[in-house]
Amino acid sequence: MRLALRRWIAIAALIAMTGCGPKPSQTAEFAQAQSTASPAAAQAQSRADYDFYLLNLSWSPEFCSTHPGSEECAAHPGLIVHGMWPQRDDGTYPEHCGMRPGPRDARAYTDMIPNAGLVRHEWQTHGTCTPYDADAYFSLIRRAYRAVHVPAQLQHVDHELVLPPVQILDAFAAANPSYPRAAFAVSCGNNRLTAVEVCLAKDLTPQACQSVRSCRANVVRVTPQQ
């Protein structure tokens, strides 16, 4: 399940305590993000090499089925951003690349990441390994998130679905024709959908996932949003 479920469970305690398609490489937002990298951040990048990003879109209803008191659950969301993680082609990834200032207002990003506690966690664990400052990093995540179209069958799910992972991949490929089909991976745990992951180059161009294993279950159950 590509560690997504374990990562999600590992931060559940943090969340509880805090309460808390066009090619984007030439966009002004991306250029602005590049210009905000500080010398210290560039040094951190040289120590934490990575090859691509893994955008993890967690299926929130599955998390909420075991954490109903979490902040995001009242809104019954579907796919939300867990994070956008620097990854290496060999399957390893850097984490915790030093203490750097976090976002000016963590709640400014809760439109895509479910609560401010998770925003801060994602910055310290993953964002510090990029050459960007915190607000530039989350702006890039928002750009990547908004570029992905969720297929109709995973919008407003009001009853449990039982789907082969390949059908979910096909649906995302059809909804995002400019993305390689292999840019998507399905993550599962106990034969239940936990996330859909998207592989992106450093300039946010979608690319085929090379070291990311997709769910191998015959079918997965999709927990309804309510």
Rounded to the nearest angstrom, the gap between the alpha carbon of residue 157 and the centroid of all alpha carbons in its chain is 20
- Give per-residue pLDDT as tens, 28-38: 444 445 444 55
Share of the chain above pLDDT 90, in %: 73
Mean pLDDT to the nearest integer, 184-199:
97
Share of the chain above pLDDT 70, in %: 79
Mean pLDDT to the nearest integer, 66-80:
90
∠ CA(72), CA(87), CA(102), 5° rounding?
50
The residue type of 87 is Q
- Asked if the model's pLDDT at residue 111 lies above 60, the reply is yes
| Confidence label for 2 from pLDDT (cuts 50, 70 and 90) | very low
Sign, CA torsion 161/142/7/1: positive
Predicted TM-score (pTM) of this structure: 0.81
Q: How many CA atoms lie within 13 A of 24 on its CB side?
A: 25
Sign, CA torsion 226/146/32/198: positive
- Asked if the model's pLDDT at residue 113 lies above 60, the reply is yes
In this predicted structure, what is the pLDDT of residue 88? Answer: 96
Q: Which domains does the chain have, with CATH numbers?
A: 4-18+28-222 (3.90.730.10)
Residue 103 structure tokens: 């976002």
| Confidence label for 40 from pLDDT (cuts 50, 70 and 90) | low
